[in-house]
Chains A and B, each alone.
Chain A
Amino acid sequence: MTIRQLFPWIAGAALILLPFVYRQPYHLHILILILIWSFAYTSWSMMGRFGLVSLGHGGFMGVGAYVTALLWNHLGISPWIGIPIAMLAAALLAVVVAYPCFRFRITGHYFVLVTLALSGIVLQVITATRDYTGGSLGYTPDRTKGSQLWALQFDDKVTWYLIALGVWAMGIAIWKWVDRSMDRYALEAISEDEDAAAAAGVNVTWEKLKITLISALMTALAGALYCQYQMFISPDTVSGISVSLQMVFAVIVGGLYVSLGPTIGAIITILLAEILRIGFGTKAVGWDNLVYGVLLVMFIIFLPKGILGSILDRLKIVRKA
């Protein structure tokens, strides 16, 4: 058992040391993207694992990215203050939409459709306010000269790698924390049967709202980080229905009910996109999503627990036998 307990620490140390040993910029760039998106996917799975399927997370991510960038460009507010404001804005949006949903028991299909509309609307707002946000052409935060801590802009990939790693680890920690809490049991009961859970004394609305808030705050942070790292955001890359579906796809491919599932999903999807991009060049436009879509359908039909989830299930059966 000691090796099992030690393993996360060894893996963590190896991940921290990695950029000091190996610093090929392109590979580091891919790793940073994987870490940031893993964090976003993990935040989606916080809700998704309890049957709260949201397609509105593209909206939260968009709010996180755009509010941070707009505050920096127009008001000169440092991302250190801008990111918390953006996260609060996303949380506020989550409450405005989710509270009536939960209070009036809009669940299942209804909830998915409402959140789907939410991410569509955020996209519309970003496009409509094109005088400020650049519309569908995208938006770039003003650059500072060189690396600036207060502007959260760094030229070297190693710093970004460590930031992304830290945030990703925090996401996994939050996942574990929820997993060990009482709320997990309450939420699992709710996802099985809301009426029974309410009868057993679970405050259904409040429990759902709590996990939604955590999820929305994390997603907004992911959006803001993505914006600060890439220094370019467009409505299509950080908001809208396709980003929401991309989250669902990655999480389902990796495994919805295990902590590292979303991370595995991010590794697979980003590597897939990169391989297609290198293989097809500019002709790849559209092809990656085509493959995504086909795989998503196939996974839901044949492997609904995802790759990591299915592997862990097999291991459990082997161990029990």
Chain B
Amino acid sequence: MTDIFDIYLLEAVVNGILLGGVLALLALGLNLIFGVIDVTWICYAELVMIGMYGMYYLVQVFGLPYYVAAPFTILLVAGLGALLHLLVIAPLLSAPPINQLLATGGVLFVLQSFATVAFGIDFRNLGIRMPVLKLFDMHFSYSRLLAFVAALIGMTLVYFFMKKTYIGTAIRAISQDRQIMALMGVDTRRIYLITSALGGALAGLASCLLVLQYDIHPFVGLSFGPITFLIVVLGGLGNFVGGFVAAFVFAQIISLGGLFSDLEWGYVLAFAFFIVMMFIRPAGLLARRS
């Protein structure tokens, strides 16, 4: 009896790690935008939702293979991210930060209701059945493995982009000092636009991966949006490594919580954990104590 229980526990732990990859990807996108532009996109999970619909239409309606549709979706959401910046954030750059945040809240409304109006509230899915990997009596779906690996690859690419290219260096420099970089001859507006597109692209990648695991409906963003916000706050907004670690911690809590009870209670546990952590490490998981 105990053996079987341990297998389930191990399976939940591994699934938690796999979930953590995708959550880390989402957190990275939010952190990137916050670190550089100092704006939080409340509607981040809704961009992912639009991307999921993009995948659905490309694969189910236009009949493209999954791996061909994915780059298109990533481009689509990257474009949406750039558009969001141009239309909403850019006019508000000098306004109080809260106004920018609330404006993206308005965009959340727009995207959700646009999806409701355009696609209806029916649940849809890609209809792709990924095989299940059996390992020592444990079951892992390939869709989760694929998501985990792709998320890691995506994050590594972003890492090298930030470290090795001129634009990446400029992005990192701007996140350290906004005023000086403009004096150094860096076109801040262009960097902001590129960062927004990059943040959008990460959301696009996440949507390609999540579409394999979730049914698509206009409110699907709510099932991973709040948890992403908790992750970036716990990791410290703008702190990439912190967000990465926090994503895996939360994924474990959700996965293990889901093992003992419903998935929703996993979220509640994660929130309780978050409140406790605020008492212990208020400035973020990896913040140095001053």
Q: Which residues of A contact B (CB under 8 A)?
A: 51, 53, 55, 96-97, 100-101, 103-106, 108-110, 112-114, 116-118, 120-121, 123-125, 127-128, 240-242, 245, 248-249, 252, 285-290, 292-297, 300-301, 304
Contact = CB atoms under 8 A, between A and B. Distances in A.
Which of B91, B110, B114: most chain A CB closer than 10 A?
B110
A247 to B, nearest CB: 11
Given A110-B233, A121-B267, A289-B112, A100 B278 contact: yes
A208 to B, nearest CB: 15
B36 to A, nearest CB: 14
Contacts, number: 149
24 contacts: A53-B102, A97-B275, A100-B278, A105-B282, A108-B98, A112-B40, A112-B98, A113-B232, A114-B230, A121-B226, A121-B268, A124-B264, A125-B268, A241-B222, A245-B105, A245-B108, A285-B116, A285-B121, A290-B113, A293-B106, A293-B107, A293-B110, A296-B109, A300-B103
Secondary structure type dominating chain B contacts:
helix
Given A97-B275, A105-B282, A297 B88 contact: yes
B61 interface: no
Interface string B143-186: 00000000000000000000000000000000000000000000
Nearest to B277: A100
A293 B113 contact: yes
Nearest to B279: A100
A234 to B, nearest CB: 13
A100 B92 CA distance: 30
B40 A128 contact: no
B101 interface: yes
Contact of A109 (B34, B106, B108, B278): B34
Contact of A124 (B102, B121, B268): B268
A195 to B, nearest CB: 14
A124 B264 CA distance: 6
A109 B106 CA distance: 16
A125 B97 CA distance: 31
A128 B222 contact: no
Nearest to B42: A116
Contact of B222 (A96, A100, A120): A120
A104 B280 CA distance: 10
Instruction: Tell me if A's interface is mostly helix, strand, loop or mixed.
Output: helix
Contacts of B105: 55, 245, 248, 296
Given A109-B34, A113-B40, A301 B229 contact: no
A286 B102 contact: no
B109 A248 contact: no
B222 A123 contact: yes
A117 B103 contact: no
A254 to B, nearest CB: 14
Contacts of B225: 120, 241
Name, among A104, A109, A241, the residue most crowded by chain B CB atoms within 10 Å (CB to CB): A109
Given A300-B106, A301-B88, 5 more contacts: A116-B229, A242-B112, A293-B110, A296-B109, A300-B92
A101 B97 CA distance: 18
A301 B102 contact: no
Interface of B: 34, 40, 42, 88, 91-92, 95, 97-99, 101-103, 105-114, 116-117, 121, 218, 222, 225-227, 229-230, 232-233, 237, 262, 264-265, 267-268, 271, 274-275, 278-279, 282-283
B268 A104 contact: no
B256 to A, nearest CB: 16
A45 B223 CA distance: 28
Contacts of A297: 88, 103, 106-107, 110
Contact of B109 (A51, A121, A285, A292): A292
B109 A106 contact: no
Given A100-B278, A113-B40, A286 B106 contact: no
Given A100-B278, A120-B225, A110 B103 contact: no
Contacts of A304: 95, 99
A113 B106 contact: no
A287 B113 contact: yes
B107 A120 contact: no
Nearest to A136: B219
Contacts of A106: 233, 278, 282
Nearest to B110: A293
B168 to A, nearest CB: 24
Contact of B226 (A120, A292, A300): A120
Nearest to B39: A109
A100 B105 CA distance: 24
A104 B282 contact: yes
A126 to B, nearest CB: 9
B22 to A, nearest CB: 18
A300 B102 contact: yes
Given A113-B232, A123-B222, A104 B279 contact: yes
A312 B121 CA distance: 42
A124 B278 contact: no
Nearest to B264: A128
A312 B112 CA distance: 34
A296 B103 contact: yes
